[in-house]
Chain A
Amino acid sequence: MDLTINGQRRSIHSDPERPLLWVLRNELDLTGAKYGCGEGQCGACTVLVDGVAHRSCITPVYTVAGREITTIEGLADGERLHPVQQAFLDCDAMQCGYCTCGMVLSAVALLRKSPTPSETEIKQKLDGNLCRCGTYNRIVAAVHKAAGVIQASNKEPHHA
Chain B
Amino acid sequence: MLELRRRDFLKTLGGGLLVMMTAESDVLAQESGRRSANEELPTNVAAWLHIAPDGKITAFTGKVEVGQNIRTSLTQAVADELHVAPNMVTLVMGDTARTPWDMGTFGSRTTPTMAPEMRKMAATAREALIAQAAKETGKPKDHLRAWNGGVFYAQSKIGTPYGDLASRIDWVGVIGNADVVTAPAHWQVAGTDLPKINASEMVTGKHKFVSDLKLPGILYGRVLRGPVPGAKLFSADTSAAAKMAGVVVVRDGDFVGVAAIDERAAEKALASIEAKWEEKAAEVTSPSAFGAVGSGRPKDATPVRSSYQVAYIAHVPLEPRAAVAEWQDGKLTVSTGTQRPFGVRSELAAAFALPETDIHVLMPDTGSGYGGKHSGECAIEAARLAKGAGKPVKLIWTREEEFQWAYVRPQGNIHVMSAVDANGKVVSWNFVNWASGPAGLKSPYDIDEAQRTEKFLEAKSPLREGSYRGLASTANHFARESHMDEIAAQIGMDPLAFRMNNLKNERLKAVLSAATDKFEWSKQKATASRGFGLACGFDKGGNIACCVEIAVSPSRQVKVERVVAAWDCGAIVNPNHLRNQVEGAIVMGLGGALFEEVEQANGKIQNPRLSQYRVPRFTDVPKIDVILIDRKDVPSAGAGETPIVGIAPAIANAIFSATGLRIRSMPLLPALARA
Contacts and interface: CB of A to CB of B under 8 A. Distances in A.
B622 to A, nearest CB: 9
Nearest to B68: A95
Given A36-B318, A132-B368, A136-B618, A94 B199 contact: yes
A128 B616 CA distance: 11
A92 B202 CA distance: 11
Contacts of B398: 38
Interface string A111-139: 00000000000111011111111111111
B586 A100 contact: no
A27 interface: yes
A29 B202 contact: no
A96 B399 contact: no
Given A27-B262, A97-B67, A127-B618, A73 B399 contact: no
B610 A71 contact: no
Given A37-B610, A42-B318, A127-B617, A97 B624 contact: no
Nearest to A76: B204
A85 B204 contact: yes
B266 to A, nearest CB: 11
Given A38-B398, A81-B203, A98-B368, A134 B621 contact: yes
A11 interface: no
B203 A100 contact: yes
Contacts of A135: 580, 583-584
B368 A26 contact: no
Interface residues of B, number: 59
A139 B588 CA distance: 16
A136 B202 contact: no
B365 interface: yes
Contacts of A86: 203
Nearest to B262: A26
Interface string A14-44: 0100100010011101111111111101101
B586 to A, nearest CB: 7
Interface in A67-116: 71-73, 75-76, 81, 85-86, 88-89, 92, 94-101, 104
Contact of A138 (B201, B214, B583): B583
Instruction: Find the residue from B200, B370, B617 having the highest chain A CB count within 10 A.
Output: B617
A48 interface: no
Nearest to B366: A96
Contacts of B209: 31, 34, 98
Interface string B304-327: 000000000000111110000000
A128 B617 CA distance: 8
Given A127-B618, A138-B583, A96 B214 contact: no
Contacts of A44: 318
Instruction: Find the residue from B202, B204, B368, B583 having the highest chain A CB count within 10 A.
Output: B202
Contacts of A128: 617
B615 interface: yes
B474 to A, nearest CB: 15
A97 B618 contact: no
A39 B201 CA distance: 26
B458 interface: no
A122 B263 contact: no
A140 interface: yes
B619 A127 contact: yes
Dominant SS among interface residues on chain A: loop
A38 B399 contact: yes
Given A38-B398, A123-B619, A96 B67 contact: yes
A133 B584 contact: yes
B202 A97 contact: yes
Given A26-B262, A92-B580, A134-B584, A39 B319 contact: no
Contacts of B370: 132
B442 interface: no
B66 interface: yes
A95 B264 contact: no
Contacts of A129: 618
B205 interface: yes
Interface in B589-609: 609
Interface string B49-73: 0000000000000000011110000
A41 B220 CA distance: 23
B424 to A, nearest CB: 36
B577 interface: yes
Contacts of B617: 127-128, 130, 136
A73 B204 contact: yes
Contacts of A29: 214
B367 interface: yes
Given A85-B203, A127-B617, A137-B623, A26 B263 contact: yes
Contact of A96 (B200, B319, B586, B611): B319
Nearest to B621: A136
B21 interface: no
Contacts of A139: 618
B454 interface: no
Contacts of A81: 200, 203-204
Contacts of B203: 72, 81, 85-86, 88-89, 94, 100-101, 104
A130 B207 CA distance: 19
Interface string B556-596: 00000000000000000000110011011111100000000
Given A38-B398, A132-B588, A97 B262 contact: no
A126 B262 contact: no
Nearest to B316: A132
Contacts of A33: 205
B205 A96 contact: no
Given A36-B319, A44-B318, A132 B615 contact: yes
A151 to B, nearest CB: 20
A134 B67 contact: no
Given A95-B584, A98-B209, A132-B588, A35 B202 contact: no
A132 to B, nearest CB: 5
Interface string A136-148: 1111100000000
Contacts of A92: 193, 195-196, 199, 576-577, 580
B110 to A, nearest CB: 14
Interface string B103-135: 000000000000000000000000000000000
Given A96-B367, A130-B318, A137 B214 contact: no
A88 B208 CA distance: 18
List 6 A-B pairs, minimum CB-CB distance, nearest first: A32-B205, A134-B587, A96-B67, A98-B367, A97-B202, A95-B67
25 contacts: A26-B262, A31-B205, A37-B399, A37-B609, A72-B205, A81-B200, A85-B204, A89-B199, A89-B203, A92-B193, A95-B69, A96-B319, A97-B367, A98-B367, A99-B318, A101-B203, A124-B619, A126-B618, A130-B318, A130-B615, A133-B67, A133-B588, A135-B584, A139-B618, A140-B618
Interface of B: 66-69, 193, 195-196, 198-205, 207-209, 211-212, 214, 220, 262-264, 316-320, 365-368, 370, 396, 398-399, 576-577, 580-581, 583-588, 609-611, 615-619, 621, 623-624
Given A89-B199, A134-B616, A136-B587, 10 more contacts: A26-B220, A33-B205, A36-B318, A39-B610, A73-B205, A76-B204, A88-B199, A98-B209, A134-B585, A137-B624
